[in-house]
Amino acid sequence: MDAALQSQKAESMMTFKNSSEYKQLISDVEAKQRMTQVILEKAEKGYYGDFTSPIAYPKSQLADDLMAAGWEDLAKKARMGYYDF
């Protein structure tokens, strides 16, 4: 690849990475990761457990939290009792 083509490709990548769409994608994925991490931390502490949770309906809260994090398939499984612990 000649230098001019490499330079053009590098400029295209810089433009792409500065686009608002790319930045929104990164932001959305990072937000989902943060929400997922919070769910995992709560689960490790027993927050969603039937006998260890400080809340009245831990499985409903788990399903709500999973739905909010974008994990619709896992939220459905939580509502169906797959994660009873």
pLDDT tens digits, residue range 14-66?
677 788 999 999 999 999 999 999 999 999 999 999 999 999 999 999 999 99
Tokens of 21: 């769409």
Domain locations in the chain?
Answer: 3-79
CA dist., res. 39 & res. 33, Å (int): 10
pLDDT tens digits, residue range 73-83?
999 999 999 99
Q: pTM for the full model? A: 0.75
